Amino acid sequence: MSDETLASYKAKYASIDQRLDAGLSDAERPAVKTEIVTLFKSVEQQLAELSVLRDEIKSLVDKWKAQQVASAANLAPQFTGEKPVVHADHIGASTFIEKGWSRLSLGDHEGAEQALLKAIELSPGDPQSEALLGWAQMLQEKYDDALMNFQKVLVREPANSLARINVGYICLKKKIFGEAIEHLSKAIRLDNDRKASLYAHFYLGLVYFEREMYEDAQTFFRKTLGLGPNLIEAYYELGRAHWFNDEREQGLEVWKQGLAANKFNPWGKKCGEMVRLVEGGGEPPRET
């Protein structure tokens, strides 16, 4: 609905409202009734058309997210959280929880953070809001704030494996390797969330790579690929673990496998870059 259309509807409403307040004669009343019915039906039709358009826009969101994934190589967990189950409340927190989830799904992490902070202001201590807020902050690299919120979630829900692997990832980024190993290993032992188990193995591989324990890193990257062959970043990191363990031929072969697995994936492309780099006599970066 354009601003002009909305303004026109408001003007018609105001005109009818003013005439009703002033009082209608018997002769005027049927005509005004017709105007009200016509205005109502017109607005109702606009709402129906907007509802259809809203559903069509959702397909644009899905396309945008697919292209976003295809254009960015990032080691952070991908947000794929289910839409939160919220209940109507008199203080409006549920509205901000849903808004936070929607903006997270769109990749608007800053907007999600603002909505979820408002949700928590209205309903303090809600674990669903805290978990989503942790995601929004982690994906902005606000690691200290995100860590605090995920830890709050784990106090109430110790078996929340997704929150636990996010804590492990943050500890990895902050180079707190002991805590990272503790949380990631526990997520594997819990074994109650397939995505959490997959990322727990992958991040443990990164932890051991950072500690230059390359054979241990290789073990976890291979387990990652066993659990999720489509996590192409595991090929990239496994290749580096071989390369820096003086197993250069194995590293090159793994990068070729990653490229062949999905040449359109950003990590598949990075595998291809490594193949061209080292075959040209270059040296792969030690940092991802």
Q: How many structural domains are present in the chain?
A: 2
Q: Residues 165-177: what's their mean pLDDT?
A: 96
In a domain, 199, yes or no: no
In the listed set 25, 41, 71, which residue is the last one of a domain according to the structure?
A: 71
In a domain, 105, yes or no: no
In a domain, 219, yes or no: no
Does residue 237 have a pLDDT over 60? yes
In the listed set 71, 97, 114, which residue is the last one of a domain according to the structure?
A: 71
How many other CB atoms are there within 10 angstroms of residue 228's CB atom? 17
Name the band, by pLDDT with cuts 50, 70 and 90, for residue 202.
Answer: very high
Domain enclosing residue 45, as ranges: 1-71
Higher pLDDT, 274 or 102: 274
pTM: 0.72
pLDDT of res. 84:
55
pLDDT of res. 71:
47
pLDDT of res. 62:
58
> Cα separation of 256 and 162, whole Å?
31
In the listed set 71, 90, 111, which residue is the last one of a domain according to the structure?
A: 71
pLDDT of res. 80:
61
Smallest CA-to-CA distance from 204 within 229, 241, 242, 255 is with 241
pLDDT of res. 67:
52
Q: Residues 127-155: what's their mean pLDDT?
A: 94
Q: Residues 136-143: what's their mean pLDDT?
A: 94
Does residue 87 have a pLDDT over 70? no
pLDDT of res. 53:
82
Q: Residues 253-260: what's their mean pLDDT?
A: 98
> Alpha-carbon torsion 24, 28, 29, 33, what sign?
negative
Q: Which residues contact 257 (CB under 8 A, 6 or more apart)?
A: 235, 271
